[in-house]
Structure 1
Amino acid sequence: MALTTRTLGSDDRPGKDGTGSVDGHGRGLTVSALGLGAMGMSDLYGPADEAESTATIHAAFDAGVTLIDTGDFYGMGHNELLIRDALRSSGRARGEVAVSVKFGAQRSYDGQWLGYDASPNAVKTALAYTLRRLGTDYVDVYRPARLDPQVPIEETVGAIAEMVQAGHVRHIGLSEVGAETLRRAHAVHPIVDLQIEYSLISRGIEAAILPTARELGIGITAYGVLSRGLISGHWQADRAFAAGDFRSLSPRFQAGNVDANLKLVEALRAVAEAKDATVAQVAIAWVLAQGEDIVPLVGARRRERLTEALGAAGLTLGAADLAAIEEAVPAGAASGDRYVAAQMAHLDSER
C-alpha cells in the first residue's frame, strides 16, 4: 500500500506550487507518514551489514518513505556517507527525499562521548562537513542533537537561521528539548518539528511538551517508537548483546526491568493477534494514531523489519482498540529510565 503524507509544522506562506509545503520557503514540510531512522545502520546497535542497509534504504524509498533521519556523529560520519551513496544509487532526485540531520555531539576516535557543542561557529562548521559528506548543498531539517548547556538556544537557532537564509538549510528542528526551550527557540525562527522519544512506554511528552508543540504549530518526529526493539515483539530477555550495542547499558534492558517490560509486550501481543497484526505494527500504529502532526521514525536495519514496520500504516485502530492497548500498556508502566542517569541529565526534555 502507498504511504500517506503528513505535514510537519504549520505554514504561513504558500510555496511555489501553491501548497506551501515543500519548497523550503514556508514553515511546513510534507513527508511520508512514516520516516526511516538510519542510526542503527552505522552505530550503537552493534555491527550492521552495509549492503543490507543500502537495500533497506532503497526499499524504504520504493515503498514511499520520503524522510530519512541521521546524525553527523552516527559512526562519525559513516551514516551520512551511507545515505549519500544510497541516494545516488537509488536514482532518485535530491528533492524527492527529505534528509534530517542532527549535530552537536562530540566524539573521539574510539567512539567515546565528549560532550556537546552547539555554538554558532560549531553549527556552521558541522553543517559544512555534513553537506560535503552527503554530497548536497542543503539539508531539509537541521537540528542540535541536545541542548548545549553552555550556549543559549537563541544563539544556536540564530546561527542555523543564517544557514536558512544562505540556502543550505530548509527547515530548523530541535531534539529532546522541553516546552520552555521550544518557546524560546520558536521566537527566534519558526521550528518545523521536535524530534523526541515517544512510544507506548515513553509518554513523558504528553504532559507539557506535546501541548506546547501543538500550540506553536510544531510537528513531532517520534523516535524510539519500538523502544529500541524492546516492544517490537521480537526481543527475548536472554538475548546476548553484540559488541558496541548501547542497549547492554540501557536501564530498560537490565535484569528485572526487562522481564517486567516484556510482560507488557505479551499483554500487547494479545491485542495485536486480535487485529491480525504484529506487536510492532500495533505499537507503531498507536503512535500514528496520536495525531496527524506526529511522524514516527522506524529504525529498521533490514528489509524484513522495514516491511513489518510499514505494515503499521495500513492498520486502523478504533476507540475499542486504543482502549485495549491502554489497558495492556498503561502510561507510566515501563520499568527503568530510557537512558542511564548521566545521559538523562543531558535531556532538557526531562527537566
Structure 2
Amino acid sequence: MIVDNALYRDGERVDLGCEPGDLTAVRGSVSEPHDFTWVGLFDPTSEELARVAELYGLHELAVEDALSAHQRPKVERYGDSLFIVLKTLWYVDEQDAVETGEISLFVGPGFIVSVRHGDGASLTDARHRLEASSQVLVHGPSAVVYAVCDDVVDRYEEVANSLQEDVDEVEESVFSDGRTNDSARIYVLKRELAEMRRAVLPLREPMNRFAAGTVGGVHRDAGPYFRDVADHLARVADTIDTLDSLLSTAFDAHIAQISIQQNDDMRRISAAVGLVAAPTLVAGVYGMNFDHMPELHWMFGYPWALGLMLLSSLTVFVISKRSGWL
C-alpha cells in the first residue's frame, strides 16, 4: 500500500490536498528546481510498484529486487538514479530473536521512493522528524536518505543494547554457583549476532562513501550527517564483535564449569564407594567361615568386627573430607 506521498519545497512539505494514492497529481506539482517528491510504500503489490516505476522511470531490475525483499544491504546505480537496500532489525526479547525487515530506496532527480517490508521498520517517525528540520530537508532526496539511514542505524543500536543485556545475563548464569545449562542460549545469541552482522557490516562501506561525498545523487553538503551515521554504525559493529567474543568466552567457561562439576561428582562418588568398600572388606573377611580366624571364638568378636568396620569408614571419611572430596 502507499503509506504517504508528498511534495517538498525549500525544506517544507507542500499541502496539495491530494490523496497519497494520487501519484500523478503529486508528481505533476513539481515546478521549482529544488522540488522533490517522496513516495512511501509498505509491502506493495506488484501492480502498485509497477505504477510507481512507470511514473518515475525506475529500472526493472531494481524494482524486481525491491519487490522480492530478500537482498543484502547494497548501493547500486542505474543511470542517473540510485538503488539502496537497508536491512531493518528489531529484537524480540522473549525469544532472544533478532527479526529482520528491509527498506529499498530509489533516489533520482527530484524524487525518492521508499519501499518497506517488515513490521518493525516504520518510517513515519523518521518522516516527521525530517519535516520538523527544514535545514536538513533543504538537501532534497539526500536528506531523506540520511533520515532513513539514521533511523535504521538507531534501531541497530537498540538491538545491540538488548543483546548486551542478554549476554550479561548469560555471563552471570555461567559463573553462578548453581548448575546451569547455558549452551543452548549461547548458541541462539551467537546466531542472532550473526544475523545482525549480516545487516550491519555491508552497510559500512556505503555510509563512508556517502560521508565522503563520492556518490553521485547524494549531495556533498550532506556528508557531515552521514559521518554521524557512519560513526554510529562503526560503534554497533564493534559492539557485535565484542558480544560475540564474550559469548565465545562464556561458552568455554561453561564447558570448563561442566568439566569441574563432573570431576567433583566423580570425587564424591569415589569417596562414597570408599565408605562402603572398607567395611565390606571387613565383613567379607569375617564371612568366610574358617575355623582358625583371629578372634573368631572371642566373646567380643562381633562388636570388634563392627567397630573395625566403623573405624575403617571413619578413616575414609576423614581422608576424603581433608582432600575436599566430600
Query: Does the TM-score normalized on the shorter chain lie above 0.5?
Result: no
Higher helix share: 2
TM-score using structure 2 length: 0.25
What TM-score do the two structures reach when normalised by structure 1? 0.24
Higher CA-based Rg: 2
